[in-house]
Amino acid sequence: MALVAGIDSSTQSCKVVIVDSGTGATLRTGRASHPDGTEVSPSFWWTALLEALHDAGGLADVSSLAIAGQQHGMVLLDSEGRVVRDALLWNDTRSAVSAEALIAEFGAAALVERSGSVPVASLTSTKVRWVRDNEPDIAARVAAVALPHDWLSWRLRGYGPADESPLGPDLEQLVTDRSDASGTGYWSPEREAYDLDLFETAFGRPAREAGSGEPSESLVVLPKVAAPEANTGTVHADYADGSQIIVGAGAGDNAAGALGLGVASGDVVISLGTSGTVFAAAPAAVNDPSGTVAGFADAAGAYLPIAVTLNAARILSSVAELLAVSFDEFAELALTAEPGSAGVVLVPYFEGERTPNLPNAKASFHGLSISSTTRANTARAAIEGMLCGLADGLDAVVATGVTAERLLLIGGAAQNPAVQAVAAQVFGVPVIVPAPGEYVARGAAVQAAWALNGSRPTWELELDAAPVSDFHPVIREQYGVHSGA
């Protein structure tokens, strides 16, 4: 029985699952928290990774691992392998003006054709532009630009600053994968290559892919893009508990989630985490000139069109706190209200929004009257608002040519019985709820098994619920009046 480890370094925490590579059975898990914020020192991720591995019982019996990570986060390194500033995360919206500048320079249609996406504040390309324009002294020191999972894999293989790592600052050893590269805004899913001109225009300096050509101080290093099944090296002995452990290519979090769920044609995943995401498997690259759908690559050799909202599960926790109730009480309240919440609508743009692209927007309640302003309607409106925003994303994904035959509802909020019931009323597609699980980490474990055995494993998906479809179009109709979508 060969064991593999899947790691999910997300916005909020690092989670580890140790899995039987043959059956997919999870044998043990570990976890460590990350600090809050949209600007974070990557050192916290490294510390949390080591703590989570320890919490999972270590790696002594593990043969292979892979790391999935939050997408888009900008990790800037100097020539000595040091992080030169805190990482700007996907949910840092300060670079919205930089996105607008890139669109003005190239045009949205050209950017979609070249990179699969219209830049929004989440993408790495806008963040490096922001640094170029606002922190030129830091920009001048940059020798490499990596993403969270790239950097963690590099560190685990032994690389980093000379005084903090066994193997030192070899930037040529930086490796990413096609799914995470496709979220930068300067890698083409269709051409399977960096668009170095886009990077240079964004950052103001030329770049090259790690391992290509002669090293040059004038060229910024971008991680080498590895194939989904690639063996990218081994965990350094200092962190391997005496084992020889293969390191897989890793992936962006949503692509890893798709692997963990075994997503196939006709499946659409709606994930209710810190952000909300709608993504599906597609056989060909997707280009949406409106920018609503990002045409990312997946972690299996195909494509992963995705629409993202900045606001998801925290909508529910914020409103539950406002109502001074537990999550169970919140669900009970929401289930006592009628579909449509008696006309009460929450437009839930608490953190601005990415879909639609309204980075400076705020949340607002609408349709309040003396009779409709009840605790039950407020609770239900929070759930309806969260899901209606994602239903708009689903419409956009389907409009690119994706077929939606069933929806897989995942994430912590998906276990809320009121969320399940309202989902069956908001989406006009059958909904299933997989059993609770760390599907991003599990997808990384799929990659680890793939790198170890040379073939992608097929593990059975356990289901938790399948709410009966009960479509109520009024919910989305009244949301559309107020949402600005």
Catalytic positions, please? Answer: 253
Going by the DSSP 8-state scheme, the letter that residue 222 receives in this structure is: E
Query: Kind and range of the H or E element at 130?
Result: helix 124-134
With 0-12 / 13-18 / 19 or more C-beta atoms within 10 angstroms meaning exposed / middle / buried, residue 264 is exposed
Element (H, E) at 166: none
Single-letter code of the amino acid located at 389: G
22 CB-contact burial (10 Å; exposed 0-12 / middle 13-18 / buried 19+):
middle
Classify residue 373 by its DSSP letter: -
Phi, psi at 423, each rounded to 5°: -60, -40
Round to whole Å and give the CA distance between 323 and 314: 14
Quick one: DSSP state of residue 484?
Answer: -
Tokens of 64: 């292979």
Alpha helix positions (H), 248-374: 253-261, 313-323, 327-336
Rounded-to-integer distance, Cα 60 and Cα 47, Å:
19
Q: Which two tokens stand for residue 466?
A: 């399948």
- Looking up tokens 């600053």 gives 161
Instruction: Return the structure tokens found at 298.
Output: 């997946």
Of 206, 203, 227, 196, residue with least CA distance to 114: 196
How many whole angstroms separate alpha carbon 338 and alpha carbon 461?
33
Of 208, 222, 223, 246, nearest to 67 by C-alpha is 246
